[in-house]
Amino acid sequence: MTDALSRSAIRRIVIIGGGTAGWMTAAALSRLMRNGHSSITLIESDEIGAIGVGEATIPPITAFNKLLGIDENDFVAKTQATFKLGIEFVDWTRRGHRYIHPFGEYGLDIEAVKFYQIWLKLYSLEDDIPYIDEFNLSAVAAKLERFLKPSTDPRSVMSSLAYAFHFDATQYAAYLRRYAEARGVKRIEGKVVDTTLRSEDGFIEAIRLESGEKIGGEFFIDCSGFRGLLIEQALHAGYESWTRWLPCDRAVAAPSERVRDPIPYTRASAHSAGWRWRIPLQHRTGNGCVYCSEHMDDETAMAQLVAGLDSPLTGEPRYLKFTAGRRKEFWKKNCVAIGLSAGFLEPLESTSIHLIQAGVSKLIALFPDGEFNPIERDEYNRLTALQFEQIRDFLILHYHATERDDSEFWRYTRSIPIPETLKAKIELFRSKGRIFRFQDELFGESNWLSVLLGQNIRPRTWDPFVDALDYAQIRGQLMRMHALIRSTAEKMPRHQAYIDRFCAAAKPVREQSK
């Protein structure tokens, strides 16, 4: 039985492209494929620069780190990382307005009634009930610029905190490269110039490098970025554009000097034709401007980026063109696309690196043998398409639910017909504030709640079960929750103090920023 299993196993895995996608894939596979008879080869070229727009993450990244078994403090120090408790949205609902989408949960349910349903009733009836983000520990800590790891004790309010990271994507790829190479991954420097397909079934047989070297394999993973060298150029998987809903198609990114202690959250500030990001790292600040080329040219976008800076640039700006959407087939023949080769959704909710992680996780769960049973391929494609579409809807919500009418861009985004899946979610919430999570959806109740309320979508009423609860009792419980969350956050160390104590970069920040 063992010999039969080993004979059918994939023995030669070839990853095309490095960067975050390639090295996350290589690291995860090298961790799990310690069978002694399977090889992993990664091909990348130092001449092809990484995109590097995805420096902010969401909480599932902590699970990926645990899968690899890496020391988190070492990872944070080596990648110049900071901690992230949420995303602040500035000028999205209307100019001058801001709200935070925090990680973690809001309050505690009372007698099986959702906390936020109870809050909806009290907030609508009384003026002194705090806004809902005051009942989220991650939100309160973010505003106070505090950080501490969550507790594993479910009885502690600290267990409700959730976090992710901001990190230098280039250094993250280098960190994972060291990890993967230490576990047997072979890296080959070179550019792929041709792909050979098998005549009998169209499977990829080998790739040829610019040097003339030919590299064969049984299973190929395309991490070549927007080019899609294998999945598109060789296998013609096709691409589904979503620009009618997400019209931004350009970005310009540039680093700037660090001028203050880093805040523990990402900031996304809307402008007349898109938005700007600000991502604080230990040694610098990452900045970018996402925009729609129909409503803003490159020079104006660069001016928007510079106008939002509070320190000088430390590098040349990089321009990026993209089309929001996804590959029609993520897994075709004996090739899986992961990262930008699979699709692109602007990093408004920091999902770029998560989509890499999710692609790797699904691949591990459905990893084929030499028979390449199509049921595994079809399930991978179904689940990945569903996740892309669910994230797409969440991003569209930010553009659709706006009161802005100060530019042609915002008048367009608020008026376009939205997907039926998103329309149903909004209408269900407008009725009685109800939110449901479907089929392992990435964003849950608390995520949708923060953005729906933040973008000023208000339910007409609340769940009728709230009315069965004693009003004075639930009011008292909410106010005690609020006091406990506030006092807990105030006792947490400053974000910078936590980094200094546990995971500061090896060199002084001031020295590295010169």
**Residue 63 annotated as binding site:** no
The rounded distance, in Å, linking the Cα atoms of 379 and 385 is 10
Question: In this structure, what token pair is assigned to residue 177?
Answer: 């490269």
**Residue 44 annotated as binding site:** no
**Residue 148 annotated as binding site:** no
SS (H, E, C) 137-192: HHHHHHHHCECCCCCCCCCCHHHHCCCEEECCHHHHHHHHHHHHHHCCCEEEECCE
Task: Please say whether the beta carbons of 366 and 345 come within 8 A.
Answer: no
**Residue 54 annotated as binding site:** no
**Residue 120 annotated as binding site:** no
CB atoms within 10 A of CB 149: 14
**Residue 349 annotated as binding site:** yes
Handedness of CA 120, 124, 130, 131 (dihedral sign): positive
**Residue 18 annotated as binding site:** yes
**Residue 231 annotated as binding site:** no
- Selecting among 78, 84, 332, 425, the annotated active-site residue is 84
Question: In this structure, what token pair is assigned to residue 17?
Answer: 């492209």
The rounded distance, in Å, linking the Cα atoms of 220 and 233 is 14
Residue 18 CB partners (closer than 8 Å, separation 6+): 42, 44, 50, 173, 177, 187, 223
**Residue 191 annotated as binding site:** no
Give the containing element (helix H, strand E) for 268.
Answer: strand 266-271
Residue 362 designated active-site: no
- Nearest CA to 75 out of 176, 147, 5, 221 is that of 176
Task: Please say whether the beta carbons of 238 and 302 come within 8 A.
Answer: no
Q: Where are the alpha helices (DSSP H) in 334-462?
A: 352-365, 374-400, 408-415, 420-432, 445-454
Q: Which residues are known binding-site members for L-tryptophan?
A: 349
Q: Which residues are known binding-site members?
A: 18-21, 84, 192, 340, 349, 353
Q: Which residues are known binding-site members for 7-chloro-L-tryptophan?
A: 84
Catalytic residues: 84
